[in-house]
Structure 1
């Protein structure tokens, strides 16, 4: 489905990489065989805090200064896995692969080789038919529940993966963060009602 709309995304990385990206260097698309939504450049949609938390926790960034880079993303021709039309087509494609004897890797916890394989193969197939995807978008439930029995998780998020570089319209350094360090504390609690006197 083609979306003529933009979203704001946040890319987690180390500070040196952020400086290079904001200086005009190109992104290096992730090509890991376990990437949740296949190959591309990953952003958290409207999720700067989740992106920063991930940058802090990601083992490869330990010992390095974490950063996030904001991006304006044009979804364009988007494989939107929040749209049942897309999930049904992907399921049909995946079942066809299995019926033809394709060896689909298994997902193990957060190592999602199977999902990565299926998304990549589907995107490649669509590109071969002249309809390449610019982006892939998916929703993920992560983290502990709010309370016992709740289906709302503390780290729920939407990821957008850019497969074609022109989908990244522009980059920026997010406000609300120190030079590249921890988030700036808010001046007041926005959850507390303000009195008009």
Structure 2
């Protein structure tokens, strides 16, 4: 879902992460696999959580707020990890946690969005609605392709800080609108 940002994270892994762990040099490309592995491990946990919570689980807009919040926190984690590292390079575990935190957010957005799209769409337009749903991430990737041009290793703190704060800001706006959005959903959770 967040295809453009991992490219900046791959650059971060290669240019500003200490890849030497106990004499073994971790290939920077391995960090790209963390998202897929985290999805495989965390998707059943999230499904179990929503099932366990049953009627007490957050509404769809609230899950979206949580998803945006976790994605924003993942970017701010880069800033925090560099603050902790100081003049040293990022620790591999700190960068790995960026991907895990982002994946938690992704799991609160993507499957929930797919599910609610089919529930809210008129039956005869279910396929078209799914197509429109996928248009939103495509637009986001287009926007990300423009924003990523502002990234460099020299300004990574500012870049990830602004992206993180902006994402959390969007989560706050969505939180403020969530009750109104929920009313328009006509009982679909």
TM-score range, shorter chain: under 0.3
**Higher relative contact order, structure no. (Cα contacts within 8 Å, ≥ 6 residues apart):** 2
Which has the larger share of strand? 1
Which has the larger share of helix? 2
TM-score (normalised: structure 2): 0.23
TM-score (normalised: structure 1): 0.23
